[in-house]
Amino acid sequence: MQEYEEVKEKMKFNHEEVKKKFMEGIDQLAKRMKKVKTKLAVMSGKGGVGKSTVAGLLAVHYGKKGYKTGIMDCDFWGSSIPKIFGVENKRPVVREDGIEPVHTDKWGIAVMSIQFFLPSPESPLAWRGPLVSGVIRDMLAKTEWGELDYLIFDLPPGTGDVPLTVLQEVRPNGVILVATPQELTATIVEKSLKLAQELNTAIVGLVENMSYYECPQCGHKEYLFGKGRAAEMASKYRIDFFLELPIDPALTRLCDSGKIELYEIDPFEFFLI
Ligand SMILES: Nc1ncnc2c1ncn2[C@@H]1O[C@H](COP(=O)(O)OP(=O)(O)OP(=O)(O)O)[C@@H](O)[C@H]1O
Ligand SMILES: [Mg+2]
Ligand SMILES: [Zn+2]
């Protein structure tokens, strides 16, 4: 019984401590985010539609132009940002005043991911949503990005708890929605629009990924699932920017070998944010 009382006492203490830490974390997060000029979150309805690739290409777009750019991997269950940038063996430097993200070789893009803190890339992440939200919050509160022009967030797929928490706490300037042609339906766009609206932000870009394949012999574009869907959705939902991203084996190869920075095509050339 005495033991029980002790535990109870301890838990009470911890509870207050946790609450205090939590509030401090929120403050710290807000302070750090203030030093970032533009924050863009990349979202998708489903996994495996090319969300991380698009987030990576967007970061490369800014990095290449000389902007101070960072990318935050918030997709704990499908973490792939360190891999496509070839930095999975680097480690962030942990200092008293914060964690220094790793930097990519070519354009010096700052990268942060839970992956860096796990013992091996294969570590199973059987964590539940609320815990993940807490870890992301903690990472965001502690990462010292410094002054950044652009910070890109690779969100987990869907419109559930974790994407919502990140969006709520980061308050991005805009959301970019990625979908494959099959996934690019009114339902998914509406769901994402609703989430963005709830957070007082907007969908500033719509990416139809794997939209077509360009024949390397004659340059003919084959739209395997029909043409014009991205344009149609963008106009229907008043999204300023849309993009049809082709299936490009060269892009797959570069991502697989950690060299996304060497991709010569900039699909975001006309994205003016
Ligand atoms: N336009 C494209 N052309 C060729 N390959 C692509 C293209 N987009 C994505 N891929 C490839 O498809 C695979 C899945 O892409 P990616 O990891 O970006 O998807 P994701 O939506 O982030 O998935 P997850 O939900 O697992 O995080 C990767 O191997 C990537 O290299
Ligand atoms: Mg991904
Ligand atoms: Zn051809």
Ligand nearest to the CA of 221: 3
Average pLDDT of the segment spanning 186-204:
91
- How many A from CA of 23 to the centre of ligand 1? 36
- Residue 273 in any domain: the answer is no
Is residue 36 within 8 Å of 145, Cβ to Cβ? yes
Q: Looking at 3-12, 193-202, 228-237, which range is the least confident one?
A: 3-12
User: Is 70 annotated for ligand binding?
Assistant: no
- Residue 170 in any domain: the answer is yes
What is the CB < 6 Å shell around ligand 1?
44, 47-53, 75, 78, 80, 157, 209-210, 245, 247-248, 251-252, 255
Band (20; pLDDT cuts 50, 70, 90): confident
Q: What is the pLDDT of residue 1?
A: 59
The model's pTM: 0.91
Q: What is the pLDDT of residue 7?
A: 59
- Residue 57 in any domain: the answer is yes
In the predicted structure, residue 10 carries a pLDDT above the cut 80: no
Question: Which atom of ligand 1 lies at the shortest distance from residue 256's CA?
Answer: 31
Average pLDDT of the segment spanning 182-211:
92
The closest residue, in CA terms, to atom 27 on ligand 1 is: 78
- Residue 10 in any domain: the answer is no
Element (H, E) at 10: helix 2-33
- Over residues 159-193, the pLDDT tens digits come to 888 888 889 989 999 999 999 999 998 899 999 99
What DSSP assignment string belongs to 201-247? --EEEEEEET--EE-TTT--EE-TT-S-HHHHHHHHTT-S-EEEEPP
- Residue 6 in any domain: the answer is no
Percent of the chain with pLDDT over 90: 63
Question: Which atom of ligand 1 lies at the shortest distance from residue 47's CA?
Answer: 25
**Cα atoms found within 13 Å of the Cα of residue 69, Cβ hemisphere only:** 23
- Residue 231 in any domain: the answer is yes
Average pLDDT of the segment spanning 9-27:
69
- Residue 20 in any domain: the answer is no
CATH code, domain with 50? 3.40.50.300
- How many A from CA of 84 to the centre of ligand 1? 10
Using only C-alpha atoms, the chain has a radius of gyration, in whole angstroms, of: 20
Residues spanned by the domain of 61: 35-262
Element (H, E) at 1: none
What is the average pLDDT score of the chain?
89
Ligand nearest to the CA of 50: 1
Backbone angles phi, psi at 152, to 5 degrees: -105, 135
Number of domains in the chain: 1
- How many A from CA of 76 to the centre of ligand 1? 16
- Residue 158 in any domain: the answer is yes
- Over residues 91-149, the pLDDT tens digits come to 999 988 899 999 999 999 999 998 888 777 666 566 677 777 888 888 899 999 999 99
Q: What is the pLDDT of residue 244?
A: 96
